[in-house]
C-alpha cells in the first residue's frame, strides 16, 4: 500500500458488518480513509462501527438492504452528507446458497439474485454521479464461481457471473470519465462463526467447505486492485487456472466437473 494513498478518501462498503467487508473497512480506516459501512442487521453493524471508531477512524454506519433502491440511495447520500464526497464504492454485500436448482424455493432464488446482482446495480447507479466528480473507484466483489458454473450453486453463480458483464460494460462507459471500474473474483473465504448459507427451503446452515484464504488476505488484494486501478483480480491458483481453462476449453471443464461429481472427489466436495 502506498503511503497516504487512501488518506481522507471516502469509501462506501456494503455488507461490511463482518467478513471481507469488515476486514476491508478496517484496513482502509488504518490507512486514513473515511468509511461508510452498511448491513441489514443493526446490532452487528453498530458493533462493527464501534470497533472501527476505536481504531481512530472516521466511520458512519447505515442500516439498510442494498436490494432496495431507496436504501441504496440513502447509503450513498450518507457518504456525501457526512464527508462531502465519495471516492470508492465496494459492492461487497452478498448471500450464498447451496442446493440443486429444481429444489430451490422461489424466495431463495429471489433473495440471492436481488441482493447479489440488483444490490450492486442499485448502489452503483446511485454512486456513479459522485464517482465521476471524484474520478474514483467502482469495485465489484464476485467469486471464482462467477467465472464458471458449479453444481449446487446455480443462482449464486448466475448472480456473481452477471457482475462480470456489468463491470465490463461500466468500465467502457466510465473509463473516458476517469472512473476506475474493477472486479475481484474471491475464492471460498474464511468465515465468521455466525455466517449462514441458504438451503433450498430458506433456512440457514454454516459453511461446510474449507477456506481458500483469510479475510485479511482478500482485503489486501482488494486494496491493491483499487490502488493500482486494475481491471480484475482472480484469487487462488485453482481460480486462475479455472478461469483460463473454462474460457479456452469449456467442454473440458464440464467433463472434469462431471467426473469429479460422479466419483465424489475431494475437489468436487470443496467447490460444489
Residues labelled catalytic: 156
- CA-to-CA distance for 93 and 37, rounded, in angstroms? 11
Other residues' Cβ atoms within 10 Å of the Cβ of residue 232: 17
Q: CA 196 from chain center: how many Å?
A: 16
DSSP-assigned beta bridge partners for residue 139: 90, 182
- CA-to-CA distance for 77 and 128, rounded, in angstroms? 12
Helices (H), 119-271: 119-134, 154-174, 215-228, 237-248, 250-263, 266-271
* Longest CA pairwise span in the chain (Å): 57
Amino acid at each position: 500500500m502506498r503511503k497516504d494513498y487512501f488518506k481522507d478518501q471516502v469509501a462506501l462498503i456494503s455488507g461490511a458488518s463482518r467478513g471481507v467487508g469488515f476486514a476491508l473497512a478496517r484496513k482502509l480506516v488504518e490507512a486514513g480513509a473515511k468509511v461508510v459501512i452498511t448491513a441489514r442487521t443493526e446490532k452487528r453493524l453498530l458493533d462493527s462501527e464501534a470497533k472501527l471508531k476505536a481504531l481512530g477512524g472516521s466511520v458512519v454506519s447505515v442500516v439498510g438492504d442494498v436490494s432496495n433502491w431507496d436504501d441504496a440511495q440513502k447509503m450513498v447520500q450518507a457518504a456525501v452528507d457526512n464527508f462531502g464526497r465519495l471516492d470508492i464504492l465496494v459492492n461487497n454485500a452478498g448471500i450464498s446458497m447451496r442446493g440443486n436448482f429444481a429444489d430451490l424455493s422461489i424466495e431463495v432464488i429471489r433473495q440471492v439474485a436481488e441482493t447479489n446482482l440488483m444490490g450492486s446495480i442499485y448502489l452503483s447507479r446511485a454512486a456513479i454521479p459522485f464517482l465521476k466528480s471524484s474520478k474514483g473507484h467502482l469495485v465489484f466483489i464476485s467469486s471464482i464461481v462467477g467465472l464458471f458454473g458449479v453444481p449446487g450453486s446455480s443462482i449464486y453463480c448466475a448472480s456473481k457471473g452477471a457482475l462480470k458483464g456489468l463491470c465490463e460494460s461500466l468500465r467502457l462507459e466510465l473509463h473516458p470519465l476517469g472512473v476506475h471500474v474493477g472486479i475481484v473474483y474471491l475464492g471460498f473465504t474464511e468465515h465468521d462463526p455466525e455466517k449462514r448459507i441458504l438451503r433450498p427451503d430458506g433456512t440457514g446452515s454454516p459453511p461446510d467447505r474449507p477456506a481458500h484464504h483469510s479475510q485479511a488476505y482478500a482485503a489486501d488484494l482488494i486494496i491493491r486492485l483499487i490502488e493500482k486501478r486494475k481491471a480484475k483480480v482472480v484469487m487462488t491458483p485453482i481460480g486462475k487456472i479455472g478461469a483460463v481453462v473454462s474460457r479456452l476449453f469449456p467442454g473440458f471443464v464440464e467433463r472434469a466437473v462431471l467426473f469429479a461429481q460422479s466419483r465424489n472427489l475431494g475437489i468436487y466436495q470443496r467447490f460444489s
